Amino acid sequence: MNWKLAFNIAVTHLVSKRRQSIIAMLGVTFGISMFIIMISFMTGVNQFTEDMAMDNTPHVRIYKPIELEDKKIISIDNPEKGNDWHVLLHQRPKNELPKIKNGMMLMQQIESMPEVLGVAPQISSQVFFNNGPVQIPGTINGIDVKKQKELFALDKKMDYGDLDDLLKGGDVIIIGKGLAKKTNVTLGDRVSVTTPEGNNLTLKIVGIFSYGIVSMDESRCYATLATVQKILGKDPSYVTDLNIKLKDIDGARAFAANLANQLPEAHVEDWETANASLLAGTAIRNIMTFVVCATLLVVAGFGIYNIMNMNIVNKMKDIAILKATGFQGNDITGIFLLQSLMIGVAGALLGLVIGFFISYLLSITPFPAGEFFRIKTFPVNFNPMHYLTGVMFGFLTTLFAGYFPSKRASKIDPVSIIRG
Amino acid sequence: MTILKADGIVKYFTEPEKFKVLKGVSFEVAKGEFLSIIGKSGCGKSTLLYILSTMDTDYEGNLEIKGENLRGKTQNELAAFRGENLGFVFQFHYLLPEFTALQNVMMPAMKLGKYSNEEIEHRAIEKLKLVGMDEYARKHASKLSGGQQQRVAIARALVNDPAIIMGDEPTGNLDKANSIKVFDILSQLAHDNNQTIITVTHDPDFANGSDRIIEMEDGNIIGTHFPKQGAKQL
């Protein structure tokens, strides 16, 4: 069939019914621009909450959990036989150091695996902070400053001071914003840290950080590995956690399962398991976004369907004439399908522009998030994929909406129209 | 030379109830002949014309045009056949109102795709000259008067140089002066270009000017007249 001729006829029809064409186009424009705004904002929010949690979350974490010893000492000399059972009441957890065996060597091994971006060692311990007579519970984390910066972007979370100051002297610490407020300390002040075992050390505050997550900002502080080893009275090989960042976050579950097989004595946990509730929230928001967007596009599609149907009723005589002068059924389908697609593509492109513009306005609108959130404007995600999806959706919707009326047009019997 | 041969054409209408409109019509048309079909309203003459035009395929009997049997061809094959061999002029001129007179005339030729666009335009202007409408070529169809539109419609019917031109009351909606113009064009085509003209008409002057008149009543042919050979005038 002659597409160029069909295209010319389609364009002439659209231009001569300018108002109707524009209204049909605006239906698509509205649908697509709302789609862009909704999806940009929703994924922006998802990205923001995910980043807030994920910046700080290792993809895979290796630690030594406190657990009950399954083997009973009495079983060593008197193994259970037949119906003889050993029953132990009120068993206590084994007093075992939460240390990962050969932590530093293990770290180097894991770091050399191809999937791994990096491994940051950490020592975590419960401590009490004292500034005056009141004891405030919290946790101290001994970190490798360089790796923490590279893998977890801790330097980006600093409100006051510099993360690198941790390396510039002994007995220095950075503490969370909430904790600083509770203990009423600022940069340069000293705070006394007491471990559950009773060890005590006075540390100087060189920085204050905030994650925007209250529970973390009110209890955490960071020092170097050496400082924490010193407080706890442990040797330099003492590490309680290995925090792994992978190149591909989606491979975390498989990687963790694989690693767990090789490390029977430690516990390996992937981020998906650790953040199940966060992921559920994200999934629900995504579903909502897609349902709303799909509805908008279906409504726009029905608009086009209606207008195309009306258009074809108006053009009955023309269709009969075209058929009488040698146009075949698929020529007629082509003419009306092209009209529908032109409406759809033009509407979708305009929708993208308007959607982008409103998303941009939203992204510079101040967002009163409170002092804990590290965010000043609405989070908006400008992902080119969304724009591509928008055009594809617009194209497909109009293709569908235009197809059935066009098919109907091709079946019009010219005799019944020309005879009147 | 016979160009069109209808053999025992029978046609039923099923709405509102089954009714035999054509009761076995047979006739032949020679190349270059100017034929008029007349009869009272409801005698089946228009129905016959639309069967001859290949647009109505729901009939019994045989139809041959240019030696080609048209029974059992698909709608698309028939559309292609129409485009190449048949031209139509209707009572209500039916130009595409969004397009200019020239574009209207060019359209069937562009569909046929036999010539380049420049050549189609050249031919279309030739045909418009033939019907005296070349100075209105760039005007929109909707801006033309009824008579002018009918002449453009004739130019459109001619653009592919069809063997047969069919008209369903081509002068039915025109005043005397325009009717005469249209008649002159059609009769010139038959005698100078050797193209066959088949028209259904109510206009006795128009019919008397043609080579042969077929008179119909109640789905049958009841008479054939040759007005130029001194036969009875209608």
Under the banding of pLDDT at 50, 70 and 90, the label for residue B199 is: very high
Q: Which residues of A touch B142 (CB under 8 A)?
A: none
Mean pLDDT, range B185-207, rounded to an integer? 88
More confident residue, A410 or A132: A410
β strands within A225-286, DSSP E: 241-246, 267-270
* A321 in contact with B, Cβ within 8 Å: yes
Question: Quick one: A409 and A355 in the same domain?
Answer: yes
Question: Quick one: A261 and A346 in the same domain?
Answer: no
Tokens at residue A287, please?
């579903």
**A–B CB contacts, 8 A cutoff, strictly below:** 70
Please answer yes or no on whether B110 and A328 come within 8 Å at the CB atom.
Answer: no
Q: Which of A16, A322, A328 is closest, CB to CB, to B76? A: A328
CA distance A25 to chain B (A): 20
pLDDT given for residue A249 in this prediction: 79
Please answer yes or no on whether B75 and A329 come within 8 Å at the CB atom.
Answer: yes
**Does the residue A213 lie in any domain?**
yes
Question: Which range, of A66-75, A111-120, A254-263, averages the lowest pLDDT?
Answer: A66-75
CA distance B94 to chain A (A): 7
Which chain B residue is nearest to residue A321, measuring alpha carbons?
A: B94
What string of DSSP letters covers B107-160? HHHHHHT-S-HHHHHHHHHHHHHHTT-GGGTTSBGGGS-HHHHHHHHHHHHHTT
Closest CA to A222 of A163, A169, A137: A163
Give the model confidence (pLDDT) of A42-68 as tens digits: 888 888 877 777 777 888 888 887 776
Question: Quick one: A110 and A66 in the same domain?
Answer: yes
**Does the residue A89 lie in any domain?**
no
Question: Quick one: A328 and A414 in the same domain?
Answer: yes
Which chain A residue is nearest to residue B112, measuring alpha carbons?
A: A326
**Does the residue A402 lie in any domain?**
yes
Question: Which range, of A82-96, A237-251, A333-347, B107-121, averages the lowest pLDDT?
Answer: A82-96
Under the banding of pLDDT at 50, 70 and 90, the label for residue A92 is: confident
CA dihedral A362, A367, A373, A375 (to 10 degrees): 40
Under the banding of pLDDT at 50, 70 and 90, the label for residue B197 is: very high
CA distance B229 to chain A (A): 33
Asked if the model's pLDDT at residue A372 lies above 60, the reply is no
Under the banding of pLDDT at 50, 70 and 90, the label for residue A353 is: very high
Question: Quick one: A161 and A226 in the same domain?
Answer: yes
Q: Which of A232, A249, A274 is the last residue of a domain?
A: A274
**Does the residue A88 lie in any domain?**
no
* A2 in contact with B, Cβ within 8 Å: yes
A420 class by beta-carbon count within 10 Å (0-12 exposed, 13-18 middle, 19+ buried): exposed
Question: Quick one: A165 and A259 in the same domain?
Answer: yes
pLDDT given for residue A232 in this prediction: 86
Under the banding of pLDDT at 50, 70 and 90, the label for residue A114 is: confident
pLDDT given for residue A115 in this prediction: 84
Question: Quick one: A236 and A305 in the same domain?
Answer: no
Structural domain harbouring A252: 60-70+95-274
* B76 in contact with A, Cβ within 8 Å: yes
Q: Edge to edge, what strands does the sheet with B34-39 contain?
A: B86-89, B164-168, B196-200, B34-39, B212-217, B220-225
- H-type helices in A123-168, by residue range? 145-152
Under the banding of pLDDT at 50, 70 and 90, the label for residue A132 is: confident
**Does the residue A78 lie in any domain?**
no
Question: Quick one: A132 and A22 in the same domain?
Answer: no
Give the model confidence (pLDDT) of A279-319 as tens digits: 788 788 888 878 887 887 788 778 778 888 888 888 888 88
**Does the residue A75 lie in any domain?**
no
β B164-168/B68-69 pair status: unpaired
Sketch out chain B's domains with CATH numbers.
2-229 (3.40.50.300)
Q: Which of A254, A274, A294 is the last residue of a domain?
A: A274
Closest CA to B50 of B17, B16, B25, B84: B25
Which single residue is written with the structure tokens 């025109």?
B174
User: How far from B15 is each of A135, A330, B12, B181, CA to CA, in Å?
Assistant: 98, 29, 9, 38
* A325 in contact with B, Cβ within 8 Å: yes
Residue to substitute from B98, B106, B161, B173, interface A, most A β-carbons within 10 A: B98
Question: Quick one: A41 and A106 in the same domain?
Answer: no
* A18 in contact with B, Cβ within 8 Å: no
Rounded to whole angstroms, how far apart are CA atoms A4 and B185?
A: 33
pLDDT given for residue B230 in this prediction: 59
Q: Which of A242, A274, A306 is the last residue of a domain?
A: A274
Asked if the model's pLDDT at residue B231 lies above 60, the reply is no
Contact (CB, 8 A) for B4 and B27:
no
CA distance B56 to chain A (A): 7
Q: Which of A55-59, B8-12, B171-175 is the most confident on average?
A: B8-12
Q: Predicted ipTM?
A: 0.85
Please answer yes or no on whether B75 and A328 come within 8 Å at the CB atom.
Answer: yes
Question: Quick one: A38 and A65 in the same domain?
Answer: no
Please answer yes or no on whether A329 and B110 come within 8 Å at the CB atom.
Answer: no
Question: Quick one: A282 and A165 in the same domain?
Answer: no
Under the banding of pLDDT at 50, 70 and 90, the label for residue B233 is: low
Give the model confidence (pLDDT) of A135-172 as tens digits: 888 999 999 888 888 888 888 888 888 888 888 877 89
Which chain A residue is nearest to residue B55, measuring alpha carbons?
A: A415
Query: In this prediction, what percent of chain A has a pLDDT beyond 90?
Result: 7
Q: What φ, ψ does residue A120 adopt, rounded to 5°?
A: -115, 125
Residue to substitute from A325, A328, A413, A415, interface B, most B β-carbons within 10 A: A325
Q: Which of A77-91, A249-263, B95-109 is the most confident on average?
A: B95-109
Total domains in chain A come to 2
**Does the residue A319 lie in any domain?**
yes
Question: Which range, of A39-48, A70-79, B45-54, B107-116, averages the lowest pLDDT?
Answer: A70-79
Question: Quick one: A111 and A64 in the same domain?
Answer: yes
**Does the residue A332 lie in any domain?**
yes
Q: What φ, ψ does residue A162 adopt, rounded to 5°?
A: -130, 140
